[in-house]
Amino acid sequence: MFEAVAFYLFAFLTITMFFITVTTSQALYALSALAAGMIFISAFFFILGADFLGAVQIIVYTGAVMALYAFGMMFFDTTREVKEKQGNKYIIVGLSTLAAVLVVVIFAAPMVSENIVALYPAIEGVGNTQEVGLVLFTKYLVPFEVAAIMLLVAMVAGIVLAGKKMDLSITLMNDAEIEEQKNKKVLS
């Protein structure tokens, strides 16, 4: 009973938040709604007994990803409207629903044919975090290390891409210097 109430409450909240994210024209509203939606998603993980995944969801999404977006938005003029050209609404909604159903079919097909075998069954008597640690550092050690290298590469790429010409500040330059910079940019 309690589980059902929690499920329906958080399902409603998550869907509402994500709906706001994709429909609002203000980037700041979209960012806030997305952050709230991420927190509500982590509630499902707690209901499902995946405590560690829920904690990681909160830390990574609301802590890291949202902060990154918030800092990234400082570079953009988000108050300016981006013109939204309206296509055919029915085609878009129809295609989206079709693709989403396809995803569920992909997930459900092995269950219907009863092909699912628990490869790494849950261990009795230990908490979720301990279980995750046991599986992650034995069976999934190589993917784990590859993911670590991927994150390192992404970090270097982010710094190299966004950090270019960060030492130049237009507000601290006089007009002649700004003109000079502009000419340099055109030539390069």
Contact set for another protein, span 21-50 (CB under 8 A): 21-22, 27, 30-31, 34, 37-38, 41, 44-45, 48-50
Picking from 109, 128, 150, the residue whose alpha carbon sits closest to that of residue 47 is 128
- From 9, 36, 92, 174, residue interacting with another protein (rule: CB under 8 A): 92
Evaluated on CA atoms 46, 47, 50, 51, the torsion sign reads: positive
Q: How far is the CB of 167 from another protein (least distance, A)?
A: 14
Q: How far is the CB of 179 from another protein (least distance, A)?
A: 17
- Decide: is 147 part of the binding site for another protein (CB under 8 A): yes
- From 9, 109, 126, 136, residue interacting with another protein (rule: CB under 8 A): 136
Are 39 and 62 spatial neighbours (Cβ–Cβ below 8 Å)?
yes
Q: How far is the CB of 174 from another protein (least distance, A)?
A: 21
What distance in Å separates the CA atoms of residue 181 and residue 120, rounded to the nearest whole number? Answer: 59
- Decide: is 61 part of the binding site for another protein (CB under 8 A): yes
- Decide: is 95 part of the binding site for another protein (CB under 8 A): yes
Token code pair at residue 125? 């008597």
What distance in Å separates the CA atoms of residue 35 and residue 61, rounded to the nearest whole number? Answer: 7
